[in-house]
Amino acid sequence: MRKHSRGVTLIELMTVMVIAAILASIAVPTYRSYVLRTHRTTATAALLRVQQAQEKFFLSKNVYSTNLTAAVADGGLGIPAVTDNGEFYDLTLDPATPTAYTVHAKARAVTKQTDDTRCAEFTINQDGKRTATSSTGTDTTAECWR
């Protein structure tokens, strides 16, 4: 008669390790893409804040501001040039005219947000027109401004 041993065999342990590795190889990339998508909201929220600040500025001065970062008292909007919550996007204001402006939010490489190639840059203008482009310049507005 054979004695029953207690514990796990090496084969059983290796089987569990392989299953865990397969699950991890699926879960990690999925999680990374989810994180990149959630950071898009920082870009859209920042652009909407700039739009709101521009409209407020326009109501008080009858022109749009040409400076994103300067203090309001100095003719600017007083908004940082990077998005909040981790600074995943750089904000830039195209030179505004008295009646028009365009604000851009471009993914920052230092935060690895440039890995989000589908939504590399967001824009909004004085008419509220929202656009998004991929890293290759393809229009991805419908996907990115959800």
Q: What is the pLDDT along the chain (146 residues), one digit of tens a residue?
A: 566 767 888 898 999 999 999 988 888 778 888 888 888 888 899 999 999 999 999 999 899 988 888 887 788 888 888 776 668 889 998 876 888 999 999 998 888 888 888 999 999 999 999 999 999 999 999 999 88
Q: What is the DSSP letter of 111?
A: G
Give the pTM.
0.77
Q: Where are the beta strands (DSSP E) in 29-126?
A: 89-93, 102-107, 121-125
Comparing C-alpha atoms, which of 35, 46, 48, 24 is closest to residue 111? Answer: 35
